[in-house]
């Protein structure tokens, strides 16, 4: 039996396998940038901006320093600031709401759909006030939000839409890529994301030439001509070295996404074979009819989450909780006056979700070992 092997050591995520596969090509990227001797906003960044914007069915791509900055700069370019309200989900990475607060606006949370863990589009309209200026849907774990509903609500109420697609490059809603629906789409190249750099990086895509121009200005201290500052901007660039690595990795993005989807199907099939998921009430990730899910995470939900995580750990299998605390209960947001129970679906998710190992280089055999270990937990 596979589980008796005490040599097992399966990480939640690792780049070591991918890096060793790409070692030669990666070293060429470094050498190319070293020899070129230009490190900020040159050819590599332009090439990546074109590739990512084309891939995402948008017209413009603007490389920035991180996914967090992509959100900040998008909000500013959309004219959102003090006194405004922006609707988003409390079940996301902190950066989504932090961007809203940093520009001086107020995050207004809407609970999530228990099936996808994405914002519940049926609960948005009741939160709209005269101050509401935008919605930030988050395509969590790589599963696209119902963008038709979001865009209809936005149109009816004259709201901006900024897509947080940090976890979802390549995901599709009804055959169209995420990031292409809203005023902007925000991507992160943090090393663990589906397209990851060797450090921080991000990109904004947009179909709107005016927004693209504003963001290009904002990322270089608001100076169209050097040392002439028209607006208050930032230092937020994607650098050439990261862009060169990302251009290399971009060649594999569709292959890697297909592999993630293959692994997700394998997990699903093995779970259905081995555990009566109805009897043990473990919820598997869903891919709605409208969705092309890119499985940034393969996340399950169970009331025995912490015991299961410890059980896996004892077998040498890592797993991660994204996210343990919903944003409305974070200390930094105590001034918003929220309480336990305000967003029950999000709170349950925080207590019950567990993300299993997921990265393109994970082997089928490893998935089998993981499912065996989970089966042994539920059939103890
Ligand atoms: C990673 C992430 C971000 C922030 O991206 P960084 O590049 O780490 O700044 C924003 N939103 C979500 C949902 C993320 O997962």
Residue pLDDT tens, the chain, 380 long: 455 556 899 999 999 999 999 999 999 999 999 999 999 999 999 999 999 999 999 999 999 999 999 999 999 999 999 999 999 999 999 999 999 999 999 999 999 999 999 999 999 999 999 999 999 999 999 999 999 999 999 999 999 999 999 999 999 999 999 999 999 999 999 999 999 999 999 999 999 999 999 999 999 999 999 999 999 999 999 999 999 999 999 999 999 999 999 999 999 999 998 887 677 779 999 999 999 999 999 999 999 999 999 999 999 999 999 999 999 999 999 999 999 999 999 999 999 999 999 999 999 999 999 999 999 999 88
- Give phi and psi for 63, each to the nearest 5: -75, 130
Distance 368 CA to ligand 1 centre (A): 30
- CA nearest ligand 1 atom 2, residue: 166
Substitution site in 99, 188, 197, 204 for ligand 1 pocket (most atoms within 8 Å of beta carbon): 188
Give the pocket of ligand 1 (CB within 6 Å).
Answer: 66-68, 92-93, 95-96, 138, 164, 166-167, 188, 190, 200, 202
- The string over 193-215, giving b where at least 16 C-beta atoms fall within 10 Å of a residue's C-beta and e elsewhere, is bbbbbbebbbbbbbbbeebbebb
Model pLDDT, residue 340: 98
The CATH-assigned architecture of domain 253-378 is Alpha-Beta Complex (3.90)
User: Catalytic site residue 207?
Assistant: no
User: Which pLDDT value is given to residue 323?
Assistant: 97
Rounded to the nearest whole angstrom, what is the distance from the C-alpha of residue 68 to the centroid of ligand 1? 6
Which residue has a Cα nearest atom 7 of ligand 1? 67
Ligand 1 pocket: which of 95, 117, 239 to mutate (most atoms within 8 A of CB)? 95
| pLDDT (0 to 100) of residue 222 | 94
- Check residue 4 and give its pLDDT: 57
Does the domain formed by 20-250 have CATH 3.40.640.10?
Answer: yes
For residue 141, report the distance from its CA to the centre of ligand 1, in Å. Answer: 11
pLDDT at 275: 80
Q: In ligand 1, which atom is closest to the CA atom of 95?
A: 10
Pocket test for ligand 1, best of 70, 166, 297 (most atoms within 8 A of CB): 166
The whole-number pLDDT of residue 3 equals 56
Non-local (6+) Cβ contacts of 4 within 8 A are: none
Report the atom number in ligand 1 closest to the C-alpha of 66. Answer: 7
Q: Phi and psi for 314 in degrees, rounded to 5? A: -65, -20
Distance 266 CA to ligand 1 centre (A): 27
* Rounded Cα gap, residues 73 and 130, in angstroms: 23
pLDDT value of residue 202: 98
3-state SS assignment for residue 235: strand
Closest residue CA from atom 14 of ligand 1: 166
Residue 277 is predicted with a pLDDT of 67
Two structure tokens written together for 275 = 């555990």
Q: Which helix (H) or strand (E) holds 187?
A: strand 184-188
Report the atom number in ligand 1 closest to the C-alpha of 296. 15
Domain limits, the chain: 20-250, 253-378
Task: Return d(Cα 146, Cα 159) in angstroms, integer.
Answer: 16
Structure tokens given for 151: 């865009």
Ligand 1 nearest-atom number relative to CA 201: 7
Catalytic residue among 193, 207, 214, 249: 193
Please state whether beta strands 202-206 and 60-64 pair in parallel, antiparallel, or not at all (unpaired): antiparallel
CA 375 / ligand 1 centre spacing (Å): 33
Contacts of 98 (CB under 8 A, 6+ apart): 68
Q: Which atom of ligand 1 is nearest to the CA of 193?
A: 1
Q: How far is the CA of 83 from the centre of ligand 1 (A)?
A: 25
Helix 364-378 vs helix 253-274: crossing angle, to nearest 10: 30
Cα(164) to ligand 1 centroid in Å equals: 8
> Helix H segments across the chain?
16-21, 23-36, 43-55, 67-77, 95-102, 147-157, 209-218, 240-250, 253-274, 305-314, 344-352, 364-378
C-alpha triplet 22, 28, 32: angle, nearest 5°: 145
């Amino acid at each position: 039996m596979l589980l008796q092997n005490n040599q097992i050591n399966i990480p939640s995520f690792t780049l070591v396998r991918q890096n060793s596969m790409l070692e030669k090509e990666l070293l060429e990227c470094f050498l190319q940038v070293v020899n070129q001797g230009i490190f900020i906003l040159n050819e590599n960044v332009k090439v990546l901006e074109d590739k990512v914007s084309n891939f995402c069915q948008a017209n413009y791509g603007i490389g920035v320093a991180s996914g967090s900055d992509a959100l900040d700069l998008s909000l500013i370019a959309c004219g959102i600031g003090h006194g405004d309200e922006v609707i988003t989900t409390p079940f996301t990475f902190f950066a989504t709401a932090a961007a809203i607060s940093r520009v001086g606006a107020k995050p207004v949370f809407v609970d999530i759909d228990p099936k996808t863990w994405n914002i519940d589009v049926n609960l948005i309209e009741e939160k709209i006030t005269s101050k509401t200026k935008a919605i930030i849907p988050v395509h969590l774990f790589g599963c696209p939000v119902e963008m038709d509903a979001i865009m209809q609500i936005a149109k009816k109420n004259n709201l901006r839409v900024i897509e947080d697609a940090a976890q979802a490059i390549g995901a599709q809603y009804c055959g169209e890529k995420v990031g292409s629906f809203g005023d902007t789409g925000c991507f992160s190249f943090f090393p663990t994301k589906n397209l990851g750099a060797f450090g921080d990086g991000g990109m904004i895509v947009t179909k709107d030439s005016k927004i693209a121009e504003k963001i290009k200005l904002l990322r270089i201290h608001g100076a169209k001509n050097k040392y002439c500052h028209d607006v208050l901007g930032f230092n937020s660039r994607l650098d050439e070295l990261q862009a060169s690595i990302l251009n290399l990795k971009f060649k594999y993005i569709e292959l890697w996404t297909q592999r993630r989807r293959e692994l997700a199907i394998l997990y699903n099939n093995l779970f259905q074979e081995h555990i009566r998921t109805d009897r043990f009430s473990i919820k598997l990730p869903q891919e709605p009819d409208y969705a092309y899910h890119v499985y940034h995470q393969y996340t399950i939900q169970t009331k025995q989450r912490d015991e299961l995580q410890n059980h896996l750990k004892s077998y040498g299998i890592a797993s991660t909780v994204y996210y343990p605390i919903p944003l409305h209960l974070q200390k930094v947001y105590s001034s918003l006056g929220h309480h336990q129970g305000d967003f029950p679906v999000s709170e349950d998710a925080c207590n019950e979700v567990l993300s299993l190992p997921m990265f393109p280089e994970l082997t089928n055999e490893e998935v089998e070992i993981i499912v065996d270990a989970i089966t042994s937990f539920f059939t103890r």
